Amino acid sequence: MSSSYERLHDGYSSGKRWSTSCVTLTVALGCLTVLGILLAVAVLERPLPPKDHETLPQDTSGANVSQDQCSLALVESIPQHVKYKANATFGIPLEEVWKDLILMATDQVDVASFYWTLTGEDIHVNTSSDLPGREILKELQELPSRNVSVRVVTSVPTVRTNSTDLKILKEKGVQVRKVNFGRLTNGVLHSKFWIVDRKHVFIGSANMDWRALTQVKELGVVIYNCSSLAKDLHKIFQSYWVMGQSNSTLPQPWPSEYDTDINKQHPLLVEAENVSSSIYLAGSPPSFLPLSRTQDLEAILSTISEAQHYVDVAVMEYFPTTRFKKPQRYWPFIDDAIRAAAFDRKVKIRMLISCGRDSDPAMLAFLQSLASIDSPHQHINIQIKLYIVPVGNQSDIPYSRVNHNKYMVTDKVAYIGTSNWSGDYFMTTAGVGLVISQHAPHPVWKTKALQSQLREVFDRDWYSEFAVNLSDLGHNPDCALSR
């Protein structure tokens, strides 16, 4: 069995070999130049982001001003038996958000998820902690009887389980398509999002898995009453849906109906509760995107390069390499952007990386390399901690008790995505990222702005007993990197 949690629980089927053509590129990242990197980013098929990832001028004349009263809220799942100090900031519970979305649906529900496993039997586990998953499955299968159309897209290849979720849903009238990303891109469909009635949206790290509700730490965002954004996300869903047909082939280029006028250069502007928000959706892989859609990698690199004071990152896995392509390739784009931010601009970097029983120990060397350039007397500040969820008496539940978050918050932007930070996720794998920049009067900012709440959640985790400095790791049976 693979030691990589993401490969089996939220990544790629074991034994899957990746193959994609590579070319030699010269890419500017900050003041660093990477020469001759063999990299499949060649499939970008568009100009690279501006040199140094400069921010293009963003005035309201280039933006899309929405009349929607978009309401944004953080969503979280905290594993059972994980306790924080009093007065800590939390997102709305994931279970509550999913149930609310099902309840309010009147017309159509579209769900994209890498895999489905909403009951304990799916993985040969008998536990009461799967009850929330069972309830979600029951409520979803009742939607067609309420005349609500339900469509589901999932991945081929996918996680190997005995799940009967999709069979049950199809019997109740749910439409299901499996997208053969293995054939189309040598990747998987790794996106995780909901669209309800073309106006409500959930995007986050959680798959349709009962463990995401009770045993795995997840983070996402729910946006209510935001038709402009929901219709834009629907274009991404529709690209999956069409490619889920048998014998589908990737169009070159994508037809005009998949184009978007919402991107980094032209974000969606919305105002609600005295908070002004600039929002856009990014996607991957490049081969699944129209030229008008900002790529997920571009969104991440520009977010890091535009930060002036701090960059806080929380991701499950961090590798400046490919992970599943054989042979593995060095892939330094995000790593170089982080180093350039810290070294050139003296931006304070904090990285909270997950470590569980199934984490890949090879990640430690890359994290130590980053941490080694921390130099207070040179005003270079890179701090790295591992977030370790205690296993306790839950050891019989496989691929659980892990921090599955995939987000970043800076002094400029909040980014919430569905991908881990290694090369394959941005070159061949389907993912989405939501980029939010907000402005509000200070009292409103503290209580209403999602950006502010996300920073508080990061601080909560960073200063918690579950976050361990690399230098203090020692031996911990719940963290494979310490073995």
Quick: pLDDT tens for 235-258.
Answer: 999 999 999 999 999 999 999 999
Within a domain: 372: yes
Catalytic residue among 235, 264, 325, 404: 404
d(Cα 157, Cα 160) in Å, to the nearest integer? 9
| Mean pLDDT lowest among 64-73, 249-258, 367-376 | 64-73
The CA R_g of the chain, rounded to the nearest whole Å, is: 21
CB atoms within 10 A of CB 316: 27
| % of the chain surpassing 70 pLDDT | 87
335 in active site? no
Report, as an integer, the average pLDDT of 370-375.
97
Query: Per-residue pLDDT tens for 189-217?
Result: 999 999 999 999 999 999 999 999 999 99
Within a domain: 35: no
Q: Please, what is the angle between helix 131-141 and helix 94-104, to 10°?
A: 10
Within a domain: 424: yes
Within a domain: 225: yes
Catalytic residue among 9, 53, 192, 448: 192
Q: How confident is the model at residue 101 (pLDDT cuts 50, 70, 90)?
A: very high
CATH code, 192 = 3.30.870.10
In the three-class reduction of DSSP (H, G, I as helix; E, B as strand; rest coil), residue 283 is classed as strand
192 in active site? yes
Global pTM reads 0.89
Burial class (CB in 10 A: 0-12, 13-18, 19+), 161: middle
Which has the closest alpha carbon to 384: 372, 401, 396, 394? 372
Which tokens go with 93?
């519970």
124 in active site? no
| Mean pLDDT lowest among 12-26, 152-166, 247-261, 396-410 | 12-26
Residue 481 has what DSSP assignment?
G
3-state secondary structure 46-73: CCCCCHHHCCCCCCHHHCEECCCCCEEE
d(Cα 82, Cα 90) in Å, to the nearest integer? 13
Within a domain: 335: yes
d(Cα 421, Cα 393) in Å, to the nearest integer? 30
d(Cα 174, Cα 102) in Å, to the nearest integer? 14
d(Cα 148, Cα 142) in Å, to the nearest integer? 9
| Res 11 pLDDT > 50 | no
Query: Which range marks the domain in which residue 294 is found?
Result: 71-469
pLDDT of amino acid 61: 53
| Res 482 pLDDT > 60 | yes
d(Cα 199, Cα 262) in Å, to the nearest integer? 16
Please list, residue by residue across 332-371, b when 16 or more beta carbons sit within 10 angstroms of its beta carbon and e when fewer do: bbbbbbbbbbbbeeebbbbbbbbbbbbbbeebbebbeebb
Within a domain: 27: no
Within a domain: 64: no
Number of domains in the chain: 1
Within a domain: 59: no
478 in active site? no
Catalytic residue among 52, 100, 178, 197: 197
Catalytic residue among 9, 190, 264, 385: 190
| Res 5 pLDDT > 80 | no
pLDDT of amino acid 10: 52
Q: Which helix (H) or strand (E) holds 276?
A: strand 275-284
One DSSP character per residue, 188-242 reads -B---EEEETTTEEEEES--EEHHHHHTSBEEEEEEES-HHHHHHHHHHHHHHHH
CB atoms within 10 A of CB 108: 15
Report, as an integer, the average pLDDT of 287-307.
98
d(Cα 250, Cα 25) in Å, to the nearest integer? 24
d(Cα 201, Cα 233) in Å, to the nearest integer? 8
